[in-house]
Amino acid sequence: MRINRLVAATAGLGLALTLAACGGQGAGGVDDAPGGDSADADPSDQTIGVAMPTQTSERWIADGEAVKSQLEEKGYTVDLQFANDDIPTQSQQIDQMITQGVDLLIIASIDGTALSSQLESAAAKDIPVIAYDRLINGSDHVEFYVTFDNYNVGVQQATSLLVGLGFLEEDGTEAADAPTSPQNIEVFAGSPDDNNAGFFFDGAMETLAPYLEDGRIVVPSGQTDFDTVATLRWSQEAAQTRMEDLLTSTYSGGEELDGVLSPFDGISRGVITALQGAGHGPSLEEGLPIVSGQDAEIASVSLIDQGVQFATIFKDTRKLASQAVTAATSFLEGDEPEANDTETYDNGVKIVPSYLLESDIVYKENISELLIDSGYYTQEQVDTGQ
């Protein structure tokens, strides 16, 4: 699954330039797209299959609902399915969508390599496939990819950890009063079958590398290898267990733990539960280690507001849904969506033209600005965590 990691690292700078050049214009149409045989079809005659991985994480529920409602506003019929993080369920759901004759598929895969046969069937019926947030690997039949700049999400996760540890200011500049003694951290990565997990991990570890190299930051367990620190299916429970094991194996002699790199809010909450259970904190003010995150899930935003979790990364699912809908509309109108990145996402068979969005670091201080003023959450949701 880690086919694309080096490409991502080298493409980071070029990507920033490309994103700037494209200035956030949507994936507008370019003529003569493959799969666009329905150019004159009425949206009300067209059905779009939307396959989402799970409802156990709120971001995917929000993604599913946003894609569905935005497509319905354009007049399309939508078949939205969630797969309980179970690969056979997702394969079956997509098979069924194809059998029922959908005109286009939008897929957020569970395992990025497990859908080759579904994609073959879709191609045989000239059904365009848009990979949603997670790249589908090992297939020629992925027409387009909408996602965030995943390498940069990892950079932001590590940056938030460096801010929390006191090495950087929130604006990314060096802190004047950086710690003078080594800071101990542990690192967690996402699911090894999700292409994004490697991008997040590489972005984060390359950002931490100078600190690890000169000893300003230390990983006392020695566990820094992706396969060792990965968390299958992004499981909160698995993360909690691994954190508990690390506390027993490495910190039972009274060693300090200052921070934890976490790539997803569910993992962050598992880690925080383990830390609190072992007597850390319970809040940052009372010594809880700095924990990063991702997705700005309401439960975690509330913990950030209460001074428990330190930070998260906000990826506006409304914007991602909107890009998916723009791309879908282009295909269904016989055009090809416009990409803003045609270098980074090699799925092992081809480079998939992509549209990448930008993300933001959420700290306690900017919850209002990023999440409430934009209408993503209400103050009440932040207060109650629901």
CB nearer to ligand BGC: give 141 or 315. 315
According to CB under 6 A, which one of 18, 46, 57, 235 is a site residue for ligand BGC?
57
CB atoms within 10 A of CB 42: 9
Site mask for ligand BGC (CB under 6 A), range 215-244, x = bound = -------------------x----------
Sign, CA dihedral 370-372-373-376, equals positive
CB nearer to ligand BGC: give 123 or 239. 239
Residue spans of beta strands (DSSP E) within 95-224: 104-107, 129-132, 144-148, 183-187, 217-218
CB nearer to ligand BGC: give 58 or 335. 58
* Site membership for ligand BGC, residue 133 (CB under 6 A): yes
Please name the residue that has the structure tokens 């399915």.
81
CB of 152 to ligand BGC, least distance (A): 12
Q: How many angstroms separate the CA atoms of 236 and 252, rounded? A: 22
* Site membership for ligand BGC, residue 264 (CB under 6 A): yes
Report how many residues bind ligand BGC under the rule CB under 6 A. 12
Put the strands of the sheet holding 183-187 in their side by side order.
Answer: 217-218, 183-187, 259-261, 290-291
* Site membership for ligand BGC, residue 196 (CB under 6 A): yes
CB nearer to ligand BGC: give 234 or 377. 234
CB of 238 to ligand BGC, least distance (A): 13
According to CB under 6 A, which one of 63, 85, 194, 336 is a site residue for ligand BGC?
194
Closest CA relative to residue 289, chosen from 262, 250, 252, 249: 262
DSSP secondary structure, 271-325, as one string: HHHHHHHTT--SSTTTTPPEE--SS--HHHHHHHHTTSS--EEE--HHHHHHHHH
* Site membership for ligand BGC, residue 269 (CB under 6 A): no
Q: What are phi and psi of 47, to 5 degrees?
A: -115, 135
User: Where on the chain is the footprint of ligand BGC (CB under 6 A)?
Assistant: 57, 59, 133-134, 190, 194, 196, 234, 264, 294-295, 315
